Amino acid sequence: MKKSLGARTFVLPTPAWVVGTYDKQGKPNLMTAAWGGICCSKPPCIGISLRKATYTYSNLMERKAFTVNVPSENHVKAVDFFGIVTGRDVDKFAAAGLTPIRSDVVDAPYVKEFPLVLECKVIHTNEIGLHTHFVGEILDVKADESVLGTEGFPNVEKVKPIIYCPDVRTYHAVGKYLGQAFSIGKNM
Amino acid sequence: MKKSLGARTFVLPTPAWVVGTYDKQGKPNLMTAAWGGICCSKPPCIGISLRKATYTYSNLMERKAFTVNVPSENHVKAVDFFGIVTGRDVDKFAAAGLTPIRSDVVDAPYVKEFPLVLECKVIHTNEIGLHTHFVGEILDVKADESVLGTEGFPNVEKVKPIIYCPDVRTYHAVGKYLGQAFSIGKNM
Does the residue A161 lie in any domain? yes
Task: State which amino acid sits at residue A56.
Answer: T
Does the residue B117 lie in any domain? yes
Domain region containing B40? 14-173
DSSP result, B65-130: EEEEEE--GGGHHHHHHHHHS-TTT--HHHHHT--EEE-SSSS-EEETTSSEEEEEEEEEEEE-SS
Q: For chain A (length 188 residues), average pLDDT per consecutive 10? A: 96 98 97 98 98 97 98 98 93 97 98 98 98 98 96 96 97 98 93
Q: B100-128: per-residue pLDDT in tens?
A: 999 999 999 999 999 999 999 999 999 99
Q: So what's the ipTM on this one?
A: 0.97
- Beta carbons of B139 and B105 less than 8 angstroms apart: yes
Interface residue B35 vs chain A (CB under 8 A): yes
CB contact under 8 A, B154 and A45: no
Residue B187 has pLDDT above 90, yes or no: no
Does the residue A68 lie in any domain? yes
Does the residue B181 lie in any domain? no
- What CATH code is carried by the domain that includes residue A96? 2.30.110.10
Q: What residues 42-101 of chain B have any CB closer than 8 A to a CB of chain A?
A: 42-47, 49, 51, 68, 70, 73, 76-84, 95-96
Task: State which amino acid sits at residue B180.
Answer: Q
Q: How far apart are CA B118 and CA B46, in angstroms?
A: 9
Does the residue A1 lie in any domain? no
Give the chain B residue nearest A128 (alpha carbons).
Answer: B40
Interface residue B127 vs chain A (CB under 8 A): no
Q: A74-107: per-residue pLDDT in tens?
A: 999 999 999 999 999 899 999 999 999 999 999 9
Does the residue A178 lie in any domain? no
Interface residue A163 vs chain B (CB under 8 A): yes
Interface residue A18 vs chain B (CB under 8 A): no
Give the chain B residue nearest A6 (alpha carbons).
Answer: B140
Query: How many domains does chain A contain in total?
Result: 1
Does the residue A109 lie in any domain? yes
Cβ-based neighbours of A45, under 8 Å, separated by 6 or more: A38, A39, A120, A123, A135, A136, A137, A138, B9, B128, B129, B131
* B35: Cα within 13 Å, side-chain hemisphere: 26
Does the residue A179 lie in any domain? no
- Beta carbons of B75 and B36 less than 8 angstroms apart: no
CB contact under 8 A, A141 and B6: yes
